[in-house]
Amino acid sequence: MKNCPLISAAGVLVLIILVIIGQWQISMDRGDTAVVVMHHPDDVMGTNCALAAVVAHHKTNRAKDALDRAEEVLRRIESQMSSWRDDSEVARFRDAEAGSEIRVSPDTLAVMYAARTAFERTGQAFDVTCRPQLELWRQADQLDQEPTAAQLSEARLASSWAGIHLTATGIVKHEPRTSLDLGGIAKGYAIDLALQSLRQAELPGGLVDVGGDLACFGTQPGGQPWLVDVKDPDLPGSFARLQIVDRAVATSGDYARQIEIAGKRYSHIIDPRTGLPADAARSATVVASTAVIADIWATALSVLGPDGFDRLPEGVEALIISAGEHGRRFICTPGFRDLLTAPMPEDWECRSDGRTQVADNRTEESSSQEQYP
């Protein structure tokens, strides 16, 4: 936790390992040859990054250009939304006087609208205004001392959407202490934009993986779907493999970037409803149509635990690992089970309560939503 540099995961364990089974060169059915061109930019959002483009073997230059453009997109979003850079738009908002409108880029504004909707949809479990609480726990980590009740309640008061008004061009700051942390959403948004730029190169397939969160389109060479291994949070290796077509996967875990106070470990994700570090899940893996949705819900389910399944929008699938009295529990939605390449292990539970209601609400409301996360 100390010295963590960026909006996403400094030193984060890579939870999901991209498996490019086709390796570098595979014959396509029609006799043409496709290759996967890989690009591993250094230190994007403080974590490992892998970009992949599937391309006919005589067009690898086109793939390289597309991968460079995708990297630029990731770096641009990082520079706008990082909590750790003094020149980001998030830093400008933090330093601005109360009462003024802070003009921000269309990307930051889109993320803020998505974050506001997510705050409502997740029952306030996902809250980008929780930065005063995050800072309090980071400070506690450094002092090696838990925050007091008074500090906690002050930080909770300072974390509120009441201090913010979104306009068409920026964010109005009403309360001087209001500040933002987009660390639970910006990476997903950046992955989606980077993937969109790969798509524009009209390749048969592509994939963007930042710190284990990823999105893909098309197929690997040979027409095979992309395969994603979900790494075990406690043991070496992976415990599940998913077959993914045109979707995104994100994982949040309480073991990544932990806070440690007096020998006790706490999650880097805050439960904004209590001000305490979340403890409802060891890890939450979410599959969704976009990386921004997967990113939001992986963080939210870390706060809500399996009860949060009731709130999942249609088409969003999840697996939660929780630490129970009798060892670990694996709880997933039926749609997640269907993505597994092997039969679901017998000791996993499959749950889907409350979903229809959530899906119906979403359809009703979506016409009035600016950006649905």
The residue ranges that bind ligand ADP (CB under 6 A) are 8-9, 12, 126-128, 130, 134, 181, 183-184, 211, 252, 256-257, 268-270, 272, 295, 298-299, 303
To which residue do tokens 């999840």 refer?
318
To which residue do tokens 């008004």 refer?
165
Q: Name the binder of 128 from Mg ion, ligand ADP, none, CB < 5-8 A by kind.
A: ligand ADP
Question: Alpha carbon of 364 to those of 123, 295, 352: distances in Å?
Answer: 18, 24, 21
Q: What pairing do the DSSP bridges indicate for beta strands 248-253 and 205-210?
A: unpaired
Nearer to ligand ADP, 217 or 297 (CB): 297
Q: Name the binder of 14 from ligand ADP, Mg ion, none, CB < 5-8 A by kind.
A: none
Nearer to ligand ADP, 12 or 316 (CB): 12
Is residue 220 within 8 A of residue 20, CB to CB? The reply is yes
To which residue do tokens 């998505």 refer?
114
Instruction: Give me the least distance between CB of 334 and ligand ADP, in Å please.
Output: 24
Nearer to ligand ADP, 205 or 308 (CB): 308
Nearer to ligand ADP, 15 or 70 (CB): 15
Closest of 223, 205, 225 to residue 52, by C-alpha:
205
Backbone angles phi and psi of 80, in degrees to 5 = -80, -35
Is residue 130 within 8 A of residue 181, CB to CB? The reply is yes
**Chain residues in the site for Mg ion (CB under 5 A):** 184, 252, 295, 298-299
Q: Name the binder of 256 from Mg ion, ligand ADP, none, CB < 5-8 A by kind.
A: ligand ADP
DSSP 8-state secondary structure symbol assigned to residue 47: B
Nearer to ligand ADP, 35 or 280 (CB): 280
Q: Name the binder of 134 from Mg ion, ligand ADP, none, CB < 5-8 A by kind.
A: ligand ADP
Instruction: Give me the least distance between CB of 134 and ligand ADP, in Å please.
Output: 6
Backbone angles phi and psi of 276, in degrees to 5 = -100, 155
